Amino acid sequence: MKGNAMTPESLDDLFSLAGRRALVTGASRGLGQAIALGLARAGADLAITARDAASLGDTAAQIRALGRAADCLALDQRDADGIGAALEGAGAFDILINNAGVEEICPSENVTPALWDKIVDTNLKGAFFTTQAVARGMLARGRGAIVNLCSLTSFVGVPTATPYGSSKSGLLGMTRALAAEWAPRGLRVNAIAPGYFRTEMTEVFYQNEAWANQMLGKIPQGRFGRGADLVGVAIFLASDASAYITGQCIGVDGGYLASI
């Protein structure tokens, strides 16, 4: 960047990620893939993760076609003890996008310890220890931008989604706590709360036509979200354009939260 964060020479400088390296978890498909490709278009080189590194081939190919580097890493966020080892040797990162997550609808009276652990360990515990592993290098260099993928359930209760909502509410709390702790050391920690997005992971819910129509009626913009809807806000929070923003969660929901 030719100028600095306060006096950029152009809007391109302000939003540019050129010369920066980002880690995006859960990037084999869906929202993670869309965000990874968006960061690459903004100039970042990428390391991308999934439980099975082979599943990252399509994302990596698209990133490389944009002229950016793409390293594929096997990372299971349910294995908190193995996260450090999985990232060892991966190099330094300027940006972390905590996107990996799982969701499973279940009446609360039927939730088992195994289901609770599967969801909370992936979405919250795993996100924390991934952040910890990456942030050590950021803290040593005195700079870094971390973006967590929260949810509407970080703010509102959704029936039959208690483990998921608990994990995403916890992730919002984690975002704020880390932002307060690490701001004096040059790190920014923010979050994005997607609304109702139709992805491979959530497609099973949208197959219920009555449910889908009910949800659509609650969204003022009158449509479900698409992966591209998250790209701009992810670039914003990862770039110098948001240099004085930390501890915030931006809803990307077509006006849903504003209307309830």
Show which residues are catalytic.
Answer: 164
Cβ atoms of residues 251 and 230 within 8 Å: no
Q: 155: which 2 tokens?
A: 């703010």
Q: 106: which 2 tokens?
A: 């279940």
Distance of CA 137 to the CA centre of its chain: 19
CA atoms of 174 and 191, how far apart (whole Å): 10
| CA end-to-end span of the chain | 42
Cβ atoms of residues 15 and 236 within 8 Å: yes
CA atoms of 131 and 135, how far apart (whole Å): 6
Give residue for tokens 């594929």.
72
